[in-house]
């Protein structure tokens, strides 16, 4: 291999909107057979909007939203931003939490106006042994069946409400997945979100149901990638979040969304500058062509 030809490859990459860490990256790019896609912010826009608020057990909807919003205002998560923004729109200024803890991949916990408040997955509530009224449990299942993400809001020992948020699939994601298939690659979806939400997104972009890996904690994403590699796959991982960084580093090839966090970009071998997933297929095609030319 001549370094000159490889550098031509990296230069063409820049034209395609792909930043390549170094010419040696092209070799692993060429060998990839499996592409694991993070859901939120990679396949979807990662910009959520609040669709509905459900309140139970004598709580009021505006109260649910205000307490949840106050807590979420301290979090960077796309769900948190949607909730805080909607809460501020409806109730104006939000109280500052006296305590705040981010529970990676599960939700947030803290104290607002003297009340211990929790916002997040059912699993987070279960861990704290908080009761879940049947009507709220039902609201969460209904939302998930529609492919929407629902989080519970709890205080004073029980869930008091449910917030339903939605995130749109990027308009280019289905074409990007189709292109990965044409290149002979197996696309997979990896997410911390609910299995039903993940299945809905997978169906929308053309990823097979058996290739959906859902409800994975951020700390376990890298283990999933390691397991796929142990099965003999050559794995590319595409992600955008802080929670994807370890998985990006573990994969044979890490691809970060240029629109994502610096942590993800630093952990990756390639950066898709505009956050358009179609550039992943472009990068793989380019790597194959470049190395064919050299031989």
Which spans of this chain sit near ligand ADP (rule: CB under 6 A)? Answer: 39-40, 72, 75, 77, 79-80, 105-108, 119-121, 149, 151, 191-193, 218, 241, 243
Alpha carbons 19 and 27: distance in angstroms, whole number: 15
Per-position x/- string for 93-132, each x denoting binding to Mg ion as judged by CB under 5 A, each - no binding: ----------------------------------------
DSSP 8-class letter at 170: P
* Catalytic option among 38, 193, 252, 269: 38
Residue showing the smallest CB distance to ligand ADP in the complex = 192
Contact 101, 109 (CB under 8 A): yes
Out of 9, 13, 23, 41, point to the residue binding Mg ion (CB under 5 A).
41
Element (H, E) at 120: strand 115-120
Out of 107, 241, 258, 281, point to the residue binding Mg ion (CB under 5 A).
241
Q: Does 38 bind Mg ion (CB under 5 A)?
A: yes
Strands (E), the chain: 18-20, 34-38, 44-55, 99-103, 107-112, 115-120, 149-155, 158-169, 186-190, 212-213, 235-239, 253-257, 270-272
79 binds, among ligand ADP, Mg ion, none (CB under 5 to 8 A by kind): ligand ADP
193: annotated active-site residue: no
As measured in angstroms, the least distance from the Cβ of 109 to Mg ion is 21
- Mapped onto helix, strand or coil, the DSSP state of residue 79 is helix
- How many amino acids of this chain bind Mg ion (CB under 5 A)? 5
As measured in angstroms, the least distance from the Cβ of 39 to ligand ADP is 5
- Mapped onto helix, strand or coil, the DSSP state of residue 235 is strand
């Amino acid at each position: 291999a001549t370094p000159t030809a490889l550098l031509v490859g990296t230069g063409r990459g820049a034209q395609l909107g792909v930043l390549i860490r170094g010419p040696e990256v092209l070799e692993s790019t060429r060998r990839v057979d499996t592409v694991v896609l993070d859901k939120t912010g990679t396949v979807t826009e990662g910009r959520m909007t609040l669709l509905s608020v459900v309140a139970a057990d004598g709580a009021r909807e505006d109260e649910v939203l205000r307490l949840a919003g106050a807590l979420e205002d301290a979090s960077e998560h796309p769900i948190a931003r949607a909730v805080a923004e909607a809460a501020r729109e409806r109730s104006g200024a939000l109280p500052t939490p006296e305590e705040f803890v981010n529970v990676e991949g599960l939700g947030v916990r803290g104290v607002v106006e003297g009340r211990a408040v929790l916002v997040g997955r059912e699993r987070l509530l279960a861990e704290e042994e908080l009761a879940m009224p049947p009507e709220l449990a039902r609201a969460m299942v209904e939302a998930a069946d529609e492919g929407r993400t629902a989080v519970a809001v709890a205080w004073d020992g029980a869930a008091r409400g449910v917030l339903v948020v939605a995130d749109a699939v990027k308009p280019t994601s289905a074409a990007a997945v189709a292109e990965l298939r044409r290149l002979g690659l197996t696309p997979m979806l990896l997410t911390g979100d609910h299995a039903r939400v993940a299945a809905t997104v997978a169906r929308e972009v053309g990823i097979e149901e058996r290739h959906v890996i859902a409800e994975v904690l951020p700390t376990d994403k890298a283990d999933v990638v390691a397991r796929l590699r142990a099965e003999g796959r050559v794995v590319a991982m595409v992600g955008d979040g802080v929670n994807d960084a370890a998985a990006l580093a573990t994969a044979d090839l890490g691809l970060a969304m240029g629109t994502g966090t610096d942590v993800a970009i630093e952990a990756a071998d390639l950066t898709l500058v505009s956050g358009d997933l179609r550039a992943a297929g472009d990068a793989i095609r380019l790597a194959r062509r470049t190395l064919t030319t050299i031989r």
